[in-house]
Amino acid sequence: MKILLISILFSLLAATSRGEDLGKSIAETFGYPHERLTVSDRSSEYSEKSKGDYLYVLQLTSEDKTFAYTELAISKRGVMLKPELEKHYESNLGDGSGPIKKFELADGGYGYTGVGMGGPGGSEERLLATWPERGIDLLVKIKLLRDGLAPDDSLEDYQTLVTEGGQILDEKLIGSLNQLAAYAVAENIGAPTSARPKPKATRPDARANLGASTQPASEESSERQGDQPQFPLWAWVAVGLLIAFAGVLFLKRRASAR
């Protein structure tokens, strides 16, 4: 029993660690030093709050308020990208020159950029996508409040990026979404699939949004992770069990040595 509990603990720690890695990786995508970041996995809380609609929620913050609150979320399909919202986005795509743009993911996934909203008190930049094959919606959002970010000259590039927005920010958001989607596959969130999503543009304007500067890096990252064998939760549990077993043996031997 003790061994089982220890093994579960190990597996949870491993999952948390991977969540932190995801958060840090995304911070680096935006050019923010991840060591100054606080990564909070709020999946359980939001899952309970939403009665299971939310599958994964990761919040990124910094204590010194130099980082814009960033949230990554995976929900069941239709929870975040509600049908009426999707309809609204579709009807406002126009000729592609407007603020809302659509991009596609592999395996039937697609998403929208330029769907931010807010008011004088604050606003959010959002990238919202859905992946029907896995039955999930994905959200990456950055929240900016009226008081602004705490000034830090060493973070000028990052702060300019998130406050001024535009195409480069869209590229970074898509890069983050890539990582979130890869995480969904690695953690087996949503329905299983054989292939990892790979964003691709559907129109020239959307392709421009994906951006040359970040796309190769994220693609390379995706490919590298995609080539690796999947490492589902049960595998982590097994590893945890082995380590725990070894640990118990080690402790017993030390005790007998005394």
Partner 1 sequence: MLADALTGTDHYLPLSVRVQDRTHRAYIEHQPNATSVADDGTIVGNGTVRFEAIEEEVAPNNWVTYEPPATTFSFIWDSWNVTPRILAHSPNALLLGSNWNEYAQISSDGVVQVRQRTNNSLAGGLYRFQRFGGVSTPGTTGPYNVYITARTGEQGVQAFNIADGSNGFCWLPTAEVPHSVLAESTFKTFNSRSFFIPLREPAFIGVTPGALGKYCLNFWDKTMIRHEDRWQEAIEIGDATLMTPKGVAFRSRIPNSVTLWQGGQTISLINAVPNKDFSGSSVFPLDATSDGRVLINHYSQTEANSYGFLVPIDIDEVIADQIPGSFDNQLPSPYFGGNPDLPRNGFANNPMLMATQSGQQAKLRVRVAVADPQIYVGARIRQTTAILGSASASSPVVDLTFNVPSFSKNLYDIVAGYDSNSNSALDGSEVRVVFEKTPRMDKEGYGSTANLQFIDKVIVVDSDQATWARTELVAGSIAPGAEFTGDLAQAFVQGSTTVPDATTTPTVPITSSQPGLSHPLGAVWNPAGEANTHRFTFGDGSPASDQVETSHALEQIVGKIITLNKTALLSAHPGTDEYITSGYITFTNEEKNFNETDPEELPGGIPELGFAFGKVSISGTIRVSYKKSGSFLFVGSVEAIGSFDDLYDFAWGTGGWAQTGAIVQAAHATLASSTYPQSGKVFFTRLEFNSGFVNTWNGTF
Q: Which is nearer to partner 1, 150 or 246 (CB)?
A: 150
Q: Which two tokens stand for residue 56?
A: 């994964």
Show the tokens assigned to 161: 């990026």
Structure token pair of residue 177: 């979404």
Residue 165 binds partner 1, judged by CB under 8 A: yes
Binding status of residue 57 toward partner 1 by CB under 8 A? yes
Regarding 129 and contact with partner 1 (CB under 8 A), the answer is no
User: Which tokens is 71 given?
Assistant: 């949230």
> What are the residues whose beta carbons fall under 8 Å from the beta carbon of 203, sequence distance 6 or more?
96, 102
State which of residues 109, 111, 116, 199 lies at the interface with partner 1 (CB under 8 A). Answer: 116
Minimal distance, residue 158 CB to partner 1, in Å: 12
Binder to partner 1 among 5, 145, 238, 248 (CB under 8 A)? 145
Residues 65-84 binding partner 1 (CB under 8 A) are: 65-66, 68, 71, 73, 75, 79-80, 82, 84
Strand partners, 129: 111, 138
Instruction: Determine which residue in the list 2, 153, 228, 257 makes contact with partner 1, applying CB under 8 A.
Output: 153
Closest CA to 57 of 79, 36, 35, 87: 79
The answer to the question of residue 184 lying near partner 1 (CB under 8 A) is no
Residue closer to partner 1 (CB basis): 14 or 169:
169
Sign of torsion, CA 40 51 7 5?
Answer: positive
Residues 6+ apart with CB under 8 A from 215: 171, 174, 175, 199
The region of 18-26, 94-102, 207-215, 235-243 touching partner 1 under the rule CB under 8 A is 94-102
φ, ψ of residue 229 to 5 degrees: the values are: -65, 145
Phi/psi at 61 (5° precision): -140, 165
The CA-based angle 97-108-111, given to 5 degrees, is 35
Task: Please tell me whether residue 22 binds partner 1 under the rule CB under 8 A.
Answer: no
Considering only residues 225 through 244, tell me which ones interact with partner 1, judged by CB under 8 A: none
Residues of the shown chain interacting with partner 1 in the complex, contacts defined by CB under 8 A:
46, 49-50, 53-54, 57, 64-66, 68, 71, 73, 75, 79-80, 82, 84-85, 88, 92, 98-100, 114-125, 137, 139, 141-142, 144-153, 156, 162-165
